[in-house]
Amino acid sequence: MRKGKLFIIIVLLFILSGTLNVSQYERAKEHENYETAVEIALSYFDSQYRVGALHEKLAYAISNNRLYIGDRGGSSNIVSRDLQHLSVMHRELTLLYGPISSYANYNDVSSFRENSIFSMYVDFSLFFECLGVQQEWIVSDTGGRYIDLEGLSNELYRGVRIIEEITGQLESIRSRSYENQTGSDQEALADYLIQSAAYFKSQEVQEHYQSILKMNKELIAITSS
């Protein structure tokens, strides 16, 4: 595939993710070869793939029984938003991985699968969105609005722990992939996507994911009533 077509792929990915800006466009355009442009795209998307930061936020919240979701008196839910953003970044990385890897093992890592890490992040986002609209466990203090984790039912609290555990494991896989690869970011990305897909397909994760889906249905029913 010629350089022009490959450059178009990269630009389209930025556009699809809603992250294209003049600086990124100019940086990619000025390079003569596709490999350098790919590295720029990989570096950007990887910097936005903040699963580790999200896990730390959830772990801290569990230890303090307070999950802050926004400003006092506001209506935004930063945890739900961060998971939605993470889902977009994961999708873009899988889309970028396809052409640069000649689609090797692509069926395993694709975000177009009905049951994928991408869809899991979306459903995790919905879980926290639903929690954030239930005023019975929302509290405000000088630090902002937070979900009182002690006020949740045992099952919903378990849901928070599930998401904290899975995001922690994904961050561990990601860290190992980048630490163990002495070559390019492309190799590290390929390793992470393949290893994380294998983890996602494990029986334990699938059972946990199904639990979250069940909780989402129950939360939506409560919200709608």
Long-range contact pairs involving 174-179 (C-beta distance under 8 Å, separation at least 24): 174/49, 174/51, 174/52, 175/52
- What is the model's pLDDT at position 33? 52
What's the pLDDT score for residue 133? 92
Give residue-wise pLDDT tens across range 97-113: 887 787 888 999 999 88
pLDDT surpasses 90 at 167: yes
Token pair 């190799």 in the structure block, residue: 187
Rounded to whole angstroms, how far apart are CA atoms 120 and 6?
A: 29
Instruction: Give the phi and the psi of residue 30 in degrees, each rounded to 5.
Output: -75, -15
Tokens at residue 89, please?
A: 């970044």
Q: What percent of the chain has pLDDT above 90?
A: 56
128, 79 contact by CB (below 8 A): yes
Phi-psi label, residue 85: left if phi above 0, alpha if psi -120 to 50, beta otherwise: alpha
